[in-house]
């Protein structure tokens, strides 16, 4: 049986913010999107992008008995949106992993990955967010 003392955590944070404020008067807005992926072992890739307002339980392999992970809901705070994962075990340990914050007021791109390693398998939790320009044509006045 896998024990908590065998947990190895590897985290990688890549941040490449590009700051460009959008002009609302020109019909340009900003849109922030998230992508959540979990890789089990070398080949199983699962996306957890459904309903970003609610937590989503992550299926854990047998090697991680006693551990549970969930994709946390995306939250908004002070001009940014944040998302990531929360993992815990039966002994009360809680980890927040692969958390990223993307600005909602300028063009921004963030990504991070956390890898949990057990004796025979690994789980990689990846979060990506991007805020980009969204151009929309203003409604045409006077047309029927």
In this predicted model, what pLDDT tens digit does every residue of 69-99 receive, in sequence order?
999 999 998 899 999 999 999 999 999 999 9
Q: Are 38 and 25 in contact (CB under 8 A)?
A: no
Which has the closest alpha carbon to 12: 127, 120, 94? 127
Residue 124 has pLDDT above 50, yes or no: yes
Residue 17 has pLDDT above 90, yes or no: no
Q: What's this model's pTM, rounded to 2 decimal places? A: 0.74
Domains and CATH numbers, the chain: 4-19+31-132 (2.60.40)
Give the DSSP per-residue string, 93-116: -EEEEEEEEEESSS-EEEEEEEEE
Q: What is the mean pLDDT of residues 31-36?
A: 95
Phi, psi for residue 138 in degrees, rounded to 5: -65, 150
Strands 56-58 and 44-47: unpaired
């Amino acid at each position: 049986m896998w024990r908590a003392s065998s947990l190895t955590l590897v985290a990688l944070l890549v941040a490449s913010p590009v700051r460009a404020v959008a002009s609302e008067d020109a019909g340009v807005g900003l849109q922030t999107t998230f992508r959540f992926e979990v890789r089990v072992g070398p080949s199983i890739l699962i996306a957890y992008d459904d309903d970003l307002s609610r937590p989503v339980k992550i299926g854990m392999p047998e090697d991680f008995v006693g551990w549970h992970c969930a994709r946390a809901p995306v939250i908004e705070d002070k001009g940014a949106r944040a998302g990531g994962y929360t993992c815990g075990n039966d002994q009360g340990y809680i980890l927040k992993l692969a958390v990223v914050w993307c600005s909602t007021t300028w063009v921004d791109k963030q990504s991070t990955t956390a890898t949990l390693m057990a004796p025979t398998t690994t789980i990689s939790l990846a979060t990506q967010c991007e805020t980009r320009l969204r151009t929309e044509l203003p409604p045409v006045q006077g047309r029927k």
